[in-house]
Structure 1
Amino acid sequence: MDPVAVGFGLVVLAVLVGSAAVVRLLYRPERPWSEVARARLVWGVPWGSILVLVGVCCVYLFVQDGVTDFTDPVTIPYRAWSYFSPLGMLTASFSHADAGHLLGNLVGAAAVAPIAEYAWGHYPEDGERADSRLADPRVRALVVFPAVVVAVGLTTSLFALGPVIGFSGVVFAFAGFAIVHYPIATLVAAVGLQGALLTVLEALRRPIGVYVAEASPPGPPSWATIAIQGHGLGFFVGIVLGVLVLRRRNRSPNPFHLWLAVALFGFAKSLWAIYWFGDQNTFVLLRGPGVVVVAVLAVVVTVAATGSERPLVPRRLRREGDSSERSPSERVLELARGSGRTDGGDPGGLDRVAAIVRGARADGSDRRYHRYAAFLAVLLVTAALMGMAVPANVLVVEEETTAEAAVEIEGYTVTYEENVQNQLVSPVAVGPLEDAVALESSGVIVSSDERQIWLDAVTSRRLAFSGEETVIVGGPGWRESVTAERTGWEPVGNETVYQVRLEGPDGDSRLAYESNASRADVRIDGRTVTVASADGEFVLEVAADDGDEADEPTTAPVPTENESTEAGGLEFEHEDGTVYAVSNETEVAVATEETYD
């Protein structure tokens, strides 16, 4: 390890600790933070959150085999593929795609999970059964809280749209539960603290970094990589649980704080990024409708969590003379009115007081009605987010591969195919999506009928960029890799001709795909040159450019480096990755070898 980097890391740590110590001297709260924490948590420690985070790390290390390769775990079988693939459904919410994905979700959970656990509390609230086993602080911390987290994780897996993977749905549930109890604290933790923690961790890991400008492989927009439905589902599940706990404890947050926190959280965490897939690697982003949805839901959640505790049914709908629903004030006013007046004075004062009392009760009833209606709307949104995933999760992968060469490993089939129908995404030709069509995929395809898996693991564009990619398949206790390698030649002025080979665990390389031939945009002595791939070998086809298609072209293999060959009266030389055609002391480049980043 570089001693300079270690030294800077220690400096970063010392400065952070020192700044916290200075603030501690300047700010003396009435109740120390440790006392505030111990009031609701055993020893002031969020034991449940710690246990959950340790469990997620164990899944990554020992279930996904991250202990073998920490940066490249087994992921394919641990996605939420289908109800007919129980392993993925049970593990998707607690598995991760790579080390960066794991770190991001762990830090996000560490920022908001303790707030959610603090809101839940290890000690029973007033009015809760103190004699129940569930009232034991140790049970609430080490059993109830983790059990609810597991249940929420299974919910976000079972009702996730698409083969999602990651703990983020549960992280959003933590945020949803915490935000209805402590809106501002949760907003600061989720939006500010999470980013600060990630920055500090990166500064400690790599205090000084040297970065070089370089090309990046083609990929979708950042918002198109977000499991927006899973995040929204987790957030609303957390809100529903939080509101239920609030009502059980007869508490209510500040309406303005809650509205502000939900709205800003939704915008900061991209809950507005509603999108779908178009054709030819395009994506449709519904940004405007998404912003409207976040704004409306912020109001709905606020009303659902901050409504009055007054009776639901408005006074005007109750039966006349039904005294069972009358308040003591109304009963006293009724007796006073019935007793009459002996001095002949105007009883209008009593009528005005009665009207005020009735108006106050009506206001409370309306607020109660609004609260129930808003909470019902939250439930309907949650149900809609769940329901949209059910049809996708009951689909069965039945189509077998048409590729001639495939690598078979323990029920997995790995192929390279182009322009095949994507079996995971269906067209939705409505409104702004009216141009959506059945999507086609090209690249390295991993499928498994018994596991209900179909995945374009490496796109053709990414393989064209890198030249070589490795796909990991496996399951509990085992992993294997398949390597895809692309080689090609680019004729001058035309499309690249390429081959893709797959190499399985046995080390046997097989030809998986050959592209169409492509003619160079040059003419030498009335001849044309075409680059083609035939039976795994690149060849040069020379034909007379006289319009007579009856003449068969003459072919020859592409010469190796610093070698030459002859075909159709032309000599071809291979120098520094370029093939030149030579005739009558004229030398013309006809094709260059494809290079990769």
Structure 2
Amino acid sequence: MVSRLHGPNMVSPFAGWPMQLGLLLGLLVSMVVVWGLDRPRGRWGRTLRKRFLFGIPWGTVVCVSGVIAVYLFVQDGWNHWYNPVTVAFASWSYLYPLGMLTGPFSHVGPSHLLGNMTSTLAVAPLAEYYFGHYPPNDGETSFSSWRTNPWVRAFVLFPLGVVTIGLLTSIFSWGPVIGFSGVFFAFVGFALVRYPLGTVIALSVQTVVSTLYSAFHDPQTIAHATTSFSRPWWYGIAIQGHTMGFFLGAVAGVYLLRSRGVRPSALRVWAGGFVVLVSSSLWALWWYRGMETFVLFRALGVLFVLTLATLLAVAVRTTDQRTFSPSARQVGTVLLLIPIIIMAGVAAPLNLTTVHRNRADALDTGVTVGDYTVTYAENVPNRKVSVIDVSVGGETTDVNTSGVIVINPDREIWSREVSKGQLAYAGGATVRVGGVGWAKTVKVRRTGWTVTGGSAAYQVWIRSPKGRWKHVFSSDSVTASPVLAGNNVSIVPRKGRFVLRLSKNNSTVGTAPIPGKNSTVTIDGIRFTRKKNNHIIAAVNDTRIEVTKKEQYGG
């Protein structure tokens, strides 16, 4: 119906600024109506002003603004919104302090940034409300000390606590981590112990905030059926970083409960924790299994979340001295601290490993940009996963990888930035490297030929910002399934060129370069003609058959 009304070249009246304006007016009218209904009691304003300076969660505003500023000005997202510099700002190693400092506050792209920020805007105000800008205990005055000063609490102490949690999630990370999600889970853990139901509702609000933003930014979306390269949605989730953030927030929340003498319901905390952690995918435990194969331990993940919710309920309940002895309170505290200690114990040796120069030299066939090397390799050990050889339950940390690799021994960086599968789908990619105050874009290109009944022979080139294309990789030759007069036809990559090879009984009969469009080459009486559509047809007497065609890319 829509296509008949508007046609392919007409603009829908339901797109653009009219709908954006309508959305804003609708939201405003709805809020005014509800505010008018509740205004006689004035409950909302009084409640917020009781805990917040002028009723606004300033600490959340400061933190979100700071993270966005890192993306725009440190990662160069201001100039490259969809392609910021990421490789320099992940937590690679203790020997690379800049990455450790910036990792928890940097993001890999706009969707990563906006996802974490909308989640933070939903949950962080609840955590800040629990923290409060004003003293919660009777008899304390707001300006009796710097710790009770609402301005200090809103603009210094709360943001300082957020930065501290972020740094701890980075320091205790198991391998490179980038993103604010560890801090988000700290907000969740902190708020859950005091307001379990409120935290569940806040997570639902995150979906509302995200939908409102999407509706305003893109009022109408037209989608077409396409092929694409994708990995499972759970690939890349830093579960250990999220778990560490959750425990750190929970410990801080339980400490505040005890200092204020609050007695929450263990059942509510357990139920709220289980619902929140499941809905936020903390159960998605996964690992590598092959080049582009990954395994999700769904049942184990649910048991993991149940354990976390139970630990939280026990720790919260042991804040009640009239039900448990002081020793029980200590047990509750230890139950939360043990996972943090274990995770820190694993993180320390992992983050003390280095990218040795002899390892980097083995892949030093690419282009150099500043102190970075960008290259392409296949079936090589992933130096940031295969740090320590461990095998458990049939899974192993001895993981190989293929794709565009960025190496920087000075910064302890070894990163597979573009996978073999991604490059095969798109045919090209860009990789941005840099540091504070500088950034460069490196381009990668793949060209190949797919044989009939077989796979592809391909080659990869890389170009630095001011350099020429450099050939960095050639695949093995591939053989087509059709047999022509007893001969096999193969495509052979040779240092930037592709060659047709005719062979019989494992002996080469002859070779010739791939012909140009609408051109023909002949090998031992067999004619190979390249059509305009980049298909090569072999002709023997009156027989015609396609033997290969140029790779087509979807990106």
With normalisation by structure 1, the TM-score equals: 0.86
Structure 2: 5+ residue runs without aligned partners? 1-10
Q: Any idea what the Cα deviations from partners look like across 1:557-582, whole Å, max 9, x if unmatched?
A: 00011111122222211002111112
The yes-or-no answer on 1:85 pairing with 2:99 is no
> What CA deviation, in whole Å up to 9, does each residue of 1:506-561 have, x standing for no partner?
23101111111112212223332211112211111123x3x3x5x54311100011
Alignment correspondent of 2:535: 578
Out of 186, 189, 196, the position equivalent to 1:183 is 196
Is residue 2:173 matched to residue 1:166? no
- Are the aligned partners of 1:303 and 1:370 in contact in 2 as well (CA < 8 Å)? no
Any residues of structure 2 matched to 1:284-323 within 5 Å, and which? Answer: 284-307=295-318, 309-310=320-321
Are 1:96 and 2:112 counterparts? no
Any idea what SS the aligned residue of 1:588 has? strand
Deviations 1:346-383 (A, max 9, x none): xxxxxxxxxxxxxxxxxx36455433312210111222
Query: How far is 1:266 from its partner?
Result: 1.1
Q: Does 1:217 align with 2:229?
A: yes
Q: Give the deviation of 1:143 after TM superposition.
A: 1.0
SS at match of 1:589: strand
Deviation, 1:404, is 6.6
- Check if 1:558 corresponds to 2:504: no
Tell me the SS of whatever aligns to 2:235. helix
- Judging changes above 3 Å, is the alpha-carbon distance between structure 1 residues 242 and 201 closer, same or farther for their aligned structure 2 residues? same
Unaligned runs of 5+ in 1: 311-363
User: Partner residue of 2:6?
Assistant: none
CA drift of 1:117 comes to: 1.3
Residue 377 in structure 1 maps to residue 335 in structure 2: yes
Query: Following superposition of structure 1 onto structure 2, how do residues 467-478 of structure 1 map, counting pairs within 5 Å?
Result: 467-478=427-438
Report SS of the residue matched to 1:595: coil
2:77 to 58, 66, 71: 66
Q: Over residues 395-454 of structure 1, what are the superposed CA-to-partner deviations in whole Å (9 max), with x where a residue is unaligned?
A: 1111124347310111111111011111111353222xx253621111111011101001
Q: State the distance in 2 between where 1:568 and 1:85 align.
A: 60
Q: Does the aligned pair in 1 maintain the 2:518–2:529 contact within 8 Å?
A: yes
Aligned: 1:262 with 2:262: no
Aligned-pair CA distance for 1:15: 2.3
Instruction: Tell me the equivalent position of 1:358.
Output: none
Tell me by how many angstroms 1:30 deviates: 4.6
Alignment of 1:45-444 (within 5 A): 45-126=56-137, 131-190=144-203, 192-219=204-231, 221-307=232-318, 309-310=320-321, 364=322, 366=324, 368-398=326-356, 399-403=359-363, 405-426=365-386, 427-431=389-393, 434-436=394-396, 438-444=398-404
Amino acid at match of 1:145: F
What do the CA deviations read for 1:484-510 (whole angstroms, capped 9, x no partner)? 111111121122111111111123101
SS at match of 1:532: strand
Contact 1:172 1:231 in 2 (8 A): yes
Distance 1:48 1:436 in 2: 42
Deviations 1:48-90 (A, max 9, x none): 1111111111111111111111111100010010001111000
AA of the residue aligned to 1:429? S
Identical aligned residues as a percent: 39
Paired letter, 1:242: G
- Which of 255-264 and 142-151 deviates more? 255-264
Partner of 2:5: none
Q: CA deviation at 1:276?
A: 2.3
Question: What is the alpha-carbon distance in structure 2 between the residues aligned to residue 392 and residue 88 of structure 1?
Answer: 15
CA contact (8 A) 1:405 1:510 kept: no
Q: CA contact under 8 A between 2:277 and 2:283: conserved in structure 1?
A: yes
Tell me the distance in 2 between the aligned counterparts of 1:51 and 1:569: 76
Superposed displacement of residue 25, structure 1: 4.3
CA contact (8 A) 2:431 2:443 kept: yes
Question: Which residue pairs with 1:350 in the alignment?
Answer: none
- Cα 1:2–1:409 change in 2 (3 A) is farther
Q: Give the CA deviation at 1:225.
A: 2.0
CA distance in 1, matches of 2:434, 2:495: 31
Contact 1:578/1:589 (8 A) holds in 2: yes
Contact residue 199 and residue 276 of structure 2 kept, 8 A:
no
**Partner SS, residue 410 of structure 2:** coil
Report Cα offsets for 1:218-248 as digits up to 9, x if no partner. Answer: 42x2122211111111111111111111111
AA of the residue aligned to 1:203: A
Judge conservation of contact 2:427–2:445 (CA < 8 Å) in 1: yes
User: Pick from 443, 452, 458: which aligns with 2:412?
Assistant: 452
Residue 489 of structure 1 contacts residue 496 of structure 1 at CA under 8 Å; is this kept in 2?
yes
Aligned to 1:41: 52
Instruction: Provide the secondary structure at the position in 2 that maps to 1:253.
Output: coil
CA distance in 2 between counterparts of 1:110 and 1:404 reads 44
1:348 corresponding residue in structure 2: none
Contact 1:305 1:375 in 2 (8 A): no
- Offset of 1:309 from its aligned partner? 4.4
* SS class of match (1:208): coil
Secondary structure of the residue aligned to 1:135 is: coil
Cα 1:209–1:52 shift into 2, 3 Å:
same
Distance 1:299 1:530 in 2: 62
Contact 1:79-1:91 at 8 Å conserved across structures: yes
The alignment yields a C-alpha RMSD, in angstroms, of 2.0
| Residues 513/47 of structure 1: CA separation in 2 closer, same or farther (3 Å cut) | same
The SS at the match of 2:234 is: helix
* Aligned match for 1:539, one of 499, 524, 529: 499
Secondary structure of the structure 1 residue equivalent to 2:102? helix
Partner residue, 2:524: 568
Write the letter of the residue equivalent to 2:380.
Answer: V
SS in 2 for 1:561: coil
Checking the alignment, whether the CA contact within 8 Å between 2:318 and 2:324 is kept in structure 1 is no
Contact conserved, 1:308 with 1:367, CA < 8 A, in 2? no
Alpha-carbon shift at residue 132 of structure 1 (Å): 2.0
Tell me, in whole angstroms, the C-alpha distance in 1 between the residues paired with 2:469 and 2:91: 31
Asked if structure 2 preserves the Cα contact closer than 8 Å seen for 1:309 and 1:368, the reply is no
Larger Rg over CA atoms: 1
Q: Contact 2:258/2:319 (CA < 8 Å) preserved in 1? A: no
**1:12 — aligned with what?**
23
The normalised TM-score by structure 2 is: 0.92
Q: CA–CA distance in 2 between the matches of 1:437 and 1:144? A: 40
Amino acid at match of 1:264: V
Distance 1:580 1:163, change over 3 A: same
> What residue identity is the alignment partner of 1:146?
P
Amino acid at match of 2:524: G
One-letter code of the match for 1:394? L
Instruction: Tell me what 2:3 maps to.
Output: none
CA distance in 2, matches of 1:437, 1:38: 52
CA contact (8 A) 2:58 2:155 kept: yes
**C-alpha distance 507-91 of structure 1, shift in aligned 2 (>3 A):** same
